[in-house]
Structure formats: structure tokens, C-alpha cells
Structure 1
Amino acid sequence: MIASEGILHRRTMHYNRIPNTITVYLSQLNGQNLRLAENILKGLLHRTDSPVEPGTILELKLGTISLSGTIQIPVKVIRCDKISESEYDLYMNYTEKDFNKIQEIEELIRDLS
């Protein structure tokens, strides 16, 4: 919460959903102890067919068929919601490791949405 002019405001996270037009690869980073980027209130939301435990650190690779190369960034799973028998929504926050790629990912999502 943030106190502003005597009024308390709850800081809320904004999650950008990764569109289906972006290829997503997730792999667990073992032995990693990365800190969340607490000074930004943005994260990513991805629908997947496998549940992932909250607190898990993943390497997220994003790409498209039309782009040569991928964007890679470590993320931490904050929440995993079961949507159906075979679908889960992963809420992932950025870590402090790669601030420079956050803007690149947000632009890619915006362009392909």
C-alpha cells in the first residue's frame, strides 16, 4: 500500500496476456534465487496445459514464426489458476535480472495482440 495525501492506495499488478500468436517456451531454472522486480507493477499471463507451482523460477522464451530469434527472460510464477481440466493460467512476475527486455516483451505483445 502507498500513502498519498493521507489516503492509502493498494498497488495493483497489471498482467499482459501473452497472445496465441507468440510461441512460448518455459523451462525451469534450477538453483536460481532471483528477486522479483518490486519497483514495477507489471507481469505476464500465459495459458498453458501444465500447472506450475507458485514460487517456481522459469526461463521464458518468446518468439514468432515471422521473427528470427527469441526474447528470453527469467520470471517467477506468482499464481497458477486452473481454468479447465486441461488449462491453467500462469501469472508471472519479472525478476530484477533483465529490466532491458521488459519493454521489448511488452512491445512484442502489443504489436501481436
Structure 2
Amino acid sequence: MKTYYMNQKPVEPLVFVVRDERGKARDLSLYDSAQVYITGTNNFDFDEIGGTAVITDADNGKVTFTFMGETVFVNQGKYRFQVKLIAGDRWDWTDIGEIEVRKGLDE
């Protein structure tokens, strides 16, 4: 589980490795694009508002999410994320993962 802090505006991108049911990295070469969806602790949803997702290493199942704009981590708690893998007018979903957001020492 990745950890961020309240009001953090991450500079480094978040890299997801999409895995199959055996835990092996999936080949994402069939997909054109990806989107990342995140749900916060108070059940708000946002998708492309918080950044952009790109399949950066299809052979090794890697999707890179670059944060943009304002912080999305306004509340302490667990955030859930899911990657939508898109191929034309069809898509697949990854398993849901979690991000923990903590209160920092300056809060």
C-alpha cells in the first residue's frame, strides 16, 4: 500500500504494475490507453481531474499516473484506486488497490 500525506501534491508519478491472477505482470500491449479512478474516504469520486495515466511499459504491465492540479488527498484515511485499461470501445478493469493518507507533522 502506498502512503501519502494530507494536502500532498506528489511530484513523482505513481507507477502501477498490473498483475494477473497468478501475480505475474500482465502484457498490456492490447490496450490503447488507461485511466485511473480514485475514491476518497468520504466516497467522493474523481478520475481524470487529478492527473493523467499512460501505459509506459506494456510488456511489463506498467501504468504511470502523473498527478496534476490541486491535491486530491484532502482527508486522512484510505483511498481506493482502480485502473481502467482501454482498447477502442472496450475496456477491462484491474483489481482495486489502496492508498493510505496520513496526517503529516505539519498539520
**Which of the two has greater helix per residue?**
1
Instruction: Settle same-fold status: TM greater than 0.5.
Output: no
* Structure of greater relative contact order (alpha carbons < 8 Å, 6+ residues apart): 2
Mark the structure with the bigger radius of gyration: 1
What's the TM-score once normalised by structure 2's chain length? 0.36
